């Protein structure tokens, strides 16, 4: 089956310093994390210190299409139950 993102929810994972979201490959759940460094790369205002969780989630929402595209590419290269997307995945 193909990877699908049926649930638009996302959350901030403080321990990983990343935004967490979920994809599904058939009946299998696939966890994805997008590092804040990848989100900040596209927005110089986010590169300053002390950015709030709300701003990271808003940045994720604004970049959702490119993030999901990067997640598809990463998953197609290596099918794992969990993947972390970094700034390198958005080149």
Q: What is the pLDDT of residues 19-56, one digit of tens each?
A: 999 999 999 999 999 999 898 876 655 655 566 889 89
Q: What would the DSSP string read from start to end of 14-82?
A: TTTTEEEEEEEETTEEEEEEEEHHHHHHT-GGGGSTT--HHHHHHHHHHTHHHHHHHHHHHHHHS--SE
Query: What is the pLDDT at residue 4?
Result: 96
Q: What is the share, in percent, of the chain residues with pLDDT greater than 90? A: 73
pTM: 0.88
């Amino acid at each position: 089956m193909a990877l699908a993102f049926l649930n638009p929810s996302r959350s901030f994972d403080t321990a990983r310093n990343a935004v967490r979201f979920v994809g599904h490959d058939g009946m299998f759940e696939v966890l994805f994390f997008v590092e804040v460094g990848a989100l900040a790369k596209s927005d110089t205002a986010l590169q300053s210190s002390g950015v709030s969780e709300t701003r990271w989630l808003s940045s994720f929402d604004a970049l959702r299409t490119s993030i999901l595209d990067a997640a598809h590419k990463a998953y197609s290269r290596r099918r794992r139950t969990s993947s972390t997307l970094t700034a390198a995945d958005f080149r």
